[in-house]
Structure 1
Amino acid sequence: MFNPTRDQVRQFFCSAWQKHRDRLPLVGAEVAAADIAARHPEYRELLDHPDLAVNQDWTPETGQMSPFLHLSLHLAIHEQTSIDQPPGIRAAYAQLCTRMDAHAAEHVLLECLGETIWRAQREGSQMDALAYLEAIRRESSRR
């Protein structure tokens, strides 16, 4: 399994965005990464300057979420829904899309995924796929 460093993740998104902007061919996950970046105009300035992006820090203490964490969670959700892993996530996403646009639905999943990852890290355990799906269903019923 590929386990990129923080800098590699940042360079990957910047490179995918640059290739998209320059109309160069995108391969593999670059296609999804460029699409996700295109849906986040607030990050374009950052993505246009990889030298700054690699060295910048965002901390919860300052009320900031890393744009690269946000983009990475979107990419994870794209992958999860495309292969229906955990099983049932594709249907949960489709259900959300009947009530909101796809990007807003991704943000619901993103919040649930972030919470599930945080909980697993806090507890020193594996991510609980059933709890993740339950959180999505709970949020779906609220919206």
Structure 2
Amino acid sequence: MFNPSRDQVREFFIETWRKHRASEVLTPLESMALDWLVEHPEYHGDLEDPAAMTKDYSVEQGRTNPFLHLSMHLAIAEQLSIDHPPGIRAAYQRLTARSDAHHAAHEIMECLGQVVWEAQRLGKPLDSDTYIDLIRQRADR
């Protein structure tokens, strides 16, 4: 999934959860996503809600968009698997040395959110150097 639509992202996570619950075979990407779905039981209701495909998860509602959150987890997992940007895996390992893997992923997620927001605000590509620098700063605290 290189540039999926909002509906494709939602359908992917909903279908992955459905297949898991039905004990069906998952693709490798679905298996990776399932790890994060299991880590977030607070989203299981959304994954089983038929209205989730069209539901608005705005900041004003005071609720995290489960599909955005899970997508960021999946993106970070993929980055870690290939160590890109270079050094992310080592920084992640330093983060996990002082907390658990889930918390470490959330630390990286904060950095990813910041550089994505900056890129959108400035209308520029994501700055990988800033991204890895932010992660390293958190890892070195």
What is the TM-score with the length of structure 1 in the denominator?
0.93
Structure 2 match to 1:83:
82
Query: Alignment identity in percent?
Result: 51
1:42 aligns with 2:48: no
Q: CA deviation at 1:27?
A: 0.5
Aligned with 1:93: secondary structure?
helix
State whether residues 36 and 71 of structure 1, in contact with CA within 8 Å, keep that contact through their aligned partners in structure 2. Answer: yes
Q: CA deviation at 1:65?
A: 2.5
Aligned with 1:98: secondary structure?
helix
Per-residue deviation, residues 57-110 of structure 1 (Å, max 9, x unmatched): 111233333110000000000000000010000111011111110000000001
Q: CA RMSD in A?
A: 1.2
Which deviates the most, 26-35 or 101-110? 26-35
State whether residues 92 and 139 of structure 2, in contact with CA within 8 Å, keep that contact through their aligned partners in structure 1. Answer: no
Structure 2 match to 1:7:
7
Which deviates the most, 132-141 or 2-11? 132-141
Which deviates the most, 16-25 or 55-64? 55-64
Please list every run of 5 or more consecutive structure 1 residues that lacks an aligned counterpart in the other structure: none
Structure 2 match to 1:73:
72
**1:2 and 1:117 mapped to 2: Cα distance?**
16
Structure 1 match to 2:140:
141
Count of matched residue positions in the alignment of Structure 1 and Structure 2: 141
1:25 aligns with 2:31: no
State whether residues 94 and 140 of structure 2, in contact with CA within 8 Å, keep that contact through their aligned partners in structure 1. Answer: no
Per-residue deviation, residues 9-56 of structure 1 (Å, max 9, x unmatched): 00100100111111111002101111110100000011112x211010
**1:34 and 1:21 mapped to 2: Cα distance?**
11
Q: Report the residue type matching 1:135 in the other structure.
A: L
